[in-house]
């Protein structure tokens, strides 16, 4: 409807112009109407960071960055295990096989990300600042999510983060969500659902600790997800036992 209205207004303006300039104005009107076509009709792929044309055979890879990976966090007994693959995908190309998507923010706090690398690095720096202001991980993540949601620069950053310490495992998103899983298992990225399902199936098996569950679940995800490889980066946290438990233990 907007295109039709633009054409009608253009025709009304053309009638009031001399014949010499009417032809040039008509050509300009047709060009502007073509640019005003819907996205699916123009067959072009746009993003706020740039433009990519499907005619040139280039797919809109930026929107896929948030999903083209697998990060998994498993909490079982006295261990918290975070594992991520190393594959960096640009459209249909594997750019790098050994990227480090799981990092230690400070002693006892681990974070993993799925998304654009530059955006994730910016969010890591902001989260480190929040951890310096608020030593409690939950409070720091809530403050980080508030800033991520409200700041006009941070809200454009596209990534999903997993943050874990000895007490809590959280998922942070750009929409202001701070989610804590019920079973201590978090999976994000294109293979996150596969890894989460496999980890939940293995979590109750006796003899398998958090690391064994996480590695086996990532093997399943990497076999099913084309954006996930087997060059894993891992971090492990050992939860200290409370002092009263040691006192009550039989000697």
Catalytic residues: 69
CB 219 within 8 A of CB 210: no
How many angstroms separate the Cα of 121 from the Cα of each of 25, 115, 127, 158? 49, 10, 10, 11
Sheet holding 169-172, edge to edge: 102-106, 109-115, 159-164, 169-172, 178-179
Query: Contact 126/174 with Cβ under 8 angstroms?
Result: no
Q: What is the dihedral of CA 242, 243, 248, 249, to 10 degrees?
A: 70
The gap between the terminal CA atoms of the chain, to the nearest Å, is 82
Number of other CB atoms surrounding residue 18 within 10 Å? 7
Look at residue 93 and give its three-state secondary structure. strand
250: how many CB neighbours lie within 10 A of its CB? 3
Measuring CA to CA, which residue among 194, 191, 212, 192 is closest to residue 203? Answer: 212
DSSP letter, residue 154: G
Distances (CA, A) of 128 to 37, 73, 171, 237: 45, 19, 16, 18
Helix (H, G, I), strand (E, B) or coil at 157: coil
């Amino acid at each position: 409807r907007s295109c039709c209205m633009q054409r009608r207004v253009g025709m009304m303006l053309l009638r009031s112009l001399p014949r010499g300039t009417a032809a040039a104005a008509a050509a300009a009107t047709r060009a502007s109407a073509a640019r005003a076509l819907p996205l699916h009709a123009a067959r072009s792929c746009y993003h706020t960071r740039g433009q990519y044309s499907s005619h040139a055979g280039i797919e809109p890879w930026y929107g896929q960055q948030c999903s083209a990976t697998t990060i998994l966090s498993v909490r079982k007994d006295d261990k918290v295990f975070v594992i991520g693959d190393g594959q960096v995908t640009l459209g249909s190309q594997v750019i790098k096989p050994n990227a480090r998507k799981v990092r230690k923010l400070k002693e006892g706090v681990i974070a993993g990300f799925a998304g654009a690398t530059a955006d994730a690095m910016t969010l890591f720096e902001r989260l480190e600042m929040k951890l310096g202001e608020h030593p409690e991980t939950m409070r720091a993540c809530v403050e980080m999510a508030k800033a991520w949601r409200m700041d006009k620069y941070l809200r454009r950053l596209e990534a999903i983060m997993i943050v874990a310490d000895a007490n809590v495992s959280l998922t942070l998103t750009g929409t202001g969500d701070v989610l804590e899983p019920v079973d201590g298992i978090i999976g994000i990225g294109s293979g996150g659902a596969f890894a989460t399902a496999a980890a939940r199936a293995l979590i109750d098996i006796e003899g398998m600790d958090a690391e064994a569950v996480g590695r086996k679940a990532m093997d399943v995800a990497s076999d099913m997800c084309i954006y996930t490889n087997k060059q894993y980066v891992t971090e492990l946290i050992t939860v200290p036992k409370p002092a009263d438990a040691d006192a009550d233990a039989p000697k």
